[in-house]
């Protein structure tokens, strides 16, 4: 019996094992010294390649459709910037006596951050969801988040000195939008070929997420964040992170279904509406909070980041195993027609 057959009988997702392997590798051999900028460049290139492939696969009509679906985008926005802060306020108020001020502040900071971009779209693609809507929703969340997150920090956390940074906008443009637009330009040449070779995009989806996990966990190991908090406090933060994530996943799923969205749109809403960006959050924390407190304040974000990747990997696999549904709301790909769902 092969290892794959054993894992199948045990119902163990090989991709989850790969995620655990990436965390273990980061713990044993984190990227440090000259390796850190090299790893950063590799992650940057992998994400840029992923968005180039998305641009080459998606037709302009699909992108326009994703932007025009205001109901879907409004639901993602409400989950990210309304539901999350409300849940965070309730949980931190309830358990404030058991948390240090820095950890309590860190949990609220998680709740006011924008969604991730690359992993939201990657998981939506793996789950055979509406990638065009996910691209628009996650990107818009980050753009609005540059202004909304500091405002919500000032309002909810009583922090001062929040400043707007154009660096994140530049990163989004150079790493995500430029490759996507380049892919749109070459779509007539390679789009149909990519649709016939879906494994290429699948490898880019999963590979980019694994690289992000390794790089993120490496950064935490090198910074020594894990040694600054007790095991009891660490366990409580993990429980609160998981509780917040679980509540939002359930809420976005139920509201999507009650609102009559297709399964493909539901997938985009669930993945975009439940994510929080560590890549944007840590640099923002350095601006919003005192230097000596940043390490502990970003700890809940680092733990939430890992929890969302593991939970969404399992959820994406479950969505991908569903039967083929009506393609009315599926993204329009390179052929210009509604495509049948991708296999994961």
Interval 216-231: pLDDT, tens: 778 778 877 667 677 8
For residue 290, the model assigns a pLDDT of 60
Mean pLDDT (the chain) is 78
Q: What is the mean pLDDT of residues 134-150?
A: 79
- If one compares 150 and 279, the residue with the highest pLDDT of the two is 150
335: pLDDT strictly greater than 60: no
Which pLDDT band holds residue 62 (cuts at 50, 70, 90)?
low
Of 87, 48, 22, 76, nearest to 221 (Cα)? Answer: 22
Residue with tokens 């996650």: 138
Report angle CA 73, 169, 281 to the nearest 5 degrees: 80
For residue 118, the model assigns a pLDDT of 77
Which pLDDT band holds residue 308 (cuts at 50, 70, 90)?
very high
Reported pTM: 0.68
160: pLDDT strictly greater than 60: no
State the fold for domain 21-318. Na+/H+ antiporter like fold (1.20.1530)
CA distance 209 to 84: 23
In the chain the beta strands, taken as DSSP E runs, fall at none
Which pLDDT band holds residue 330 (cuts at 50, 70, 90)?
very low
What percent of the chain lies above the pLDDT cut of 70?
A: 77
CA distance 98 to 94: 9
For residue 163, the model assigns a pLDDT of 47
Which pLDDT band holds residue 325 (cuts at 50, 70, 90)?
very low
119: pLDDT strictly greater than 60: yes
- If one compares 46 and 86, the residue with the highest pLDDT of the two is 86
For residue 266, the model assigns a pLDDT of 95
Residue 304 vs residues 169, 217, 321: alpha-carbon distances, Å: 23, 12, 26
CA distance 264 to 133: 9
Query: Which residues does 298 contact at the CB level (< 8 Å), separation at least 6?
Result: 106, 109, 225, 281, 282, 285
Beta bridge partner(s), residue 333: 58
Number of H helices, E strands in the chain: 17, 0
């Amino acid at each position: 019996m092969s290892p794959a057959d054993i894992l199948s009988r045990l119902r163990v997702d090989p991709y989850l094992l790969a995620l655990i392997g990436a965390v273990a590798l980061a713990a044993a051999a984190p990227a440090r010294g000259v390796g850190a900028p090299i790893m950063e460049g590799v992650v940057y290139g992998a994400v840029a390649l992923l968005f180039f492939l998305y641009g080459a696969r998606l037709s302009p009509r699909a992108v326009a459709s994703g932007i025009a679906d205001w109901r879907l985008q409004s639901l993602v926005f409400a989950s990210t910037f309304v539901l999350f802060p409300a849940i965070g306020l309730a949980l931190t108020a309830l358990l404030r006596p058991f948390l240090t001020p820095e950890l309590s502040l860190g949990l609220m900071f998680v709740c006011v951050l924008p969604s991730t971009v690359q992993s939201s779209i990657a998981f939506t693609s793996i789950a055979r969801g509406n990638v065009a809507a996910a691209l628009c929703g996650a990107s818009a969340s980050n753009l609005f988040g540059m202004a909304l997150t500091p405002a919500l920090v000032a309002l909810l956390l009583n922090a001062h000195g929040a400043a707007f940074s154009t660096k994140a906008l530049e990163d989004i443009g150079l790493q995500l939008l430029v490759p996507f637009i380049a892919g749109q330009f070459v779509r007539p040449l390679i789009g149909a070929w990519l649709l016939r070779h879906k494994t290429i995009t699948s490898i880019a989806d999963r590979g980019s997420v694994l690289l992000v996990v390794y790089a993120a966990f490496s950064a935490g190991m090198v910074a020594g964040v894990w040694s600054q908090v007790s095991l009891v406090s660490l366990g409580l933060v993990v429980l609160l992170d998981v509780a917040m994530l679980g509540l939002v996943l359930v809420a976005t799923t139920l509201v999507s279904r009650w609102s009559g969205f297709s399964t493909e749109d539901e997938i985009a809403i669930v993945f975009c509406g439940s994510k929080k960006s560590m890549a944007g959050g840590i640099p923002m924390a350095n601006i919003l909070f005192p230097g000596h407190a940043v390490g502990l304040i970003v700890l809940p974000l680092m733990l939430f980041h890992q929890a969302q990747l593991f939970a969404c990997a399992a959820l994406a696999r479950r969505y991908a195993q569903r039967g083929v549904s009506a393609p009315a709301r599926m993204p329009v790909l390179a052929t210009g027609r509604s495509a049948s769902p991708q296999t994961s």
